[in-house]
Amino acid sequence: MDLQLGNRRILVTGASRGLGYATAQVLAAEGARVVINARHPDTLAEAAARLRAATGAEVHAVAGDVSQADDAARVVQAAVAHLGGLDGLVTNAGGPPPGPFEAFDDAAWYAAFDLAFLFHVRLIRAALPALRDARGGSVVAITSISAKQPIPNLVLSNTMRAAAVALIKSLALELGGEGLRFNAVLPGWTRTERVTELLAYRAQQKGTRVEDEMAAQARASALGRMGEPEELGRAVAFLLSPAASYLTGVLLPVEGGSYKGLC
Ligand SMILES: NC(=O)c1ccc[n+]([C@@H]2O[C@H](COP(=O)([O-])OP(=O)(O)OC[C@H]3O[C@@H](n4cnc5c(N)ncnc54)[C@H](OP(=O)(O)O)[C@@H]3O)[C@@H](O)[C@H]2O)c1
C-alpha cells in the first residue's frame, strides 16, 4: 500500500528521541518533508542529521519548549516557513513525572496541564490555517493507553491523557466538514528513555531491580514484550497519511494487548 506521504509537509514535536523520533523516521523514509522539534538544540540537531543520513529526506530542526505558549506558536510558524505550508502535524512531548496524588501541588498540576494537554491545543490552533490551506490536513496526537486504563503512580499523566483524547474526538467532529482529520494513538509500554525512567522509579519504590520491572511489564502484554518505537511510528504515519482518508476521531491503542478491556 502506498501511504501517499511523498513530499507531504509534516511537523513532529517532541522528536529528538523516543516515539517522536521514530515517527519522524518512518515519515521521512516514506518521502515526507519533515520538521522535528525538541527543547535541547544540540541533541535535536544531531537527531535531524541522523534522519537525513538514514533516509535522504529533507529534515529541519526547530528547537522550542512546546509546553510554553509562545514557543508552541513559534515552532509551528517556523515549520510552515521551512516547508512552505503544512499537510500534517504530530503533537508529542515529554510526560509528567510519576508519583502519588498527594505529592503534587497546584503548580505541578498546572505544569502537567501545559505539558500533556494544553500543548495539543496550542499547536493545533497555530497550525489550523496552514492545515486548512493544505486541503486534507491531518493531525495525530500521541497520548497514552492510560486514557483508557489509568497506570498506577501516574495520576498527572492519566488525567491529562483523558482530556487529550476528548479534545481530539471533539475536533474530529467539529472540523471534519472542512476535510480536516484528527486522530490519536494511545501507546502502551514502548521501549524509550521515558519508560526506563518510569520503571526505575517503580523499582526504587518497591525495592526491586529495574530489569525485573522491565521484564514484568513486558509479560503483562498479550504479545509478551514491550513495543518498539518504530511500531508506534508506523501507526502514526498511517493515521496521518492520505491512505487513512476515511479515518477520523480514531483513538488507536498501540500496546501489544496490554489493555484488557473490550473497547
Ligand atoms: N514510551 C512509552 O511507553 C509511552 C507510553 C505511553 C505514553 N507515552 C507518552 O508519549 C510521549 C513520548 O514518550 P517517549 O517515551 O518518546 O518520551 P521520551 O523518551 O522522554 O522523549 C521525549 C521527547 O520529547 C522531547 N520533549 C520533552 N519535553 C518537551 C517539550 N516540553 N517541548 C518539546 N519537546 C519536548 C524530548 O527532547 P528534549 O528533552 O530535548 O525536549 C524528547 O525528544 C510522552 O508524553 C510519554 O509520556 C509514552
- Give the closest residue (by CA) to ligand 1 atom 30: 65
Low-confidence ranges of the chain (pLDDT < 50): none
Integer Cα distance of 64 and 37 in angstroms: 7
* pLDDT for 3: 98
Does ligand 1 come within 6 angstroms of the Cβ of 248?
no
Q: Confirm if 88 and 26 have CB atoms less than 8 A apart.
A: no
Does ligand 1 come within 6 angstroms of the Cβ of 93?
yes
* pLDDT for 230: 98
* pLDDT for 212: 95
Does ligand 1 come within 6 angstroms of the Cβ of 192?
yes
- What does the domain layout of the chain look like in residue ranges? 9-188+228-252, 189-226
Does ligand 1 come within 6 angstroms of the Cβ of 193?
yes
- Centre of ligand 1 to C-alpha 178, Å, is 31
* pLDDT for 114: 98
Q: Flag whether the pTM goes above 0.85.
A: yes
- Give the closest residue (by CA) to ligand 1 atom 22: 94
Average pLDDT, the chain: 97
Q: Is 164 helix (H, G, I), strand (E, B) or coil?
A: helix
Could you tell which of 192, 236, 254 is best to mutate to test the pocket of ligand 1, judged by most ligand atoms within 8 Å of the CB? 192
Closest ligand 1 atom to residue 66 Cα is: 32
The CATH architecture annotation of domain 9-188+228-252 reads: 3-Layer(aba) Sandwich (3.40)
Closest ligand 1 atom to residue 43 Cα is: 40
Nearest to 249 by CA among 181, 179, 186: 181
Cell of 84: 512552505
Nearest to 96 by CA among 79, 110, 78, 116: 116
Nearest to 82 by CA among 36, 46, 24: 36
H helices of the chain, in order, are: 18-29, 41-55, 69-83, 106-113, 119-134, 155-175, 193-206, 210-219, 229-240
- In which order are the strands placed within the sheet that holds 88-91? 59-63, 33-38, 9-12, 88-91, 138-142, 181-187, 251-254
Does ligand 1 come within 6 angstroms of the Cβ of 17?
yes
Does ligand 1 come within 6 angstroms of the Cβ of 14?
yes
Integer Cα distance of 19 and 192 in angstroms: 7
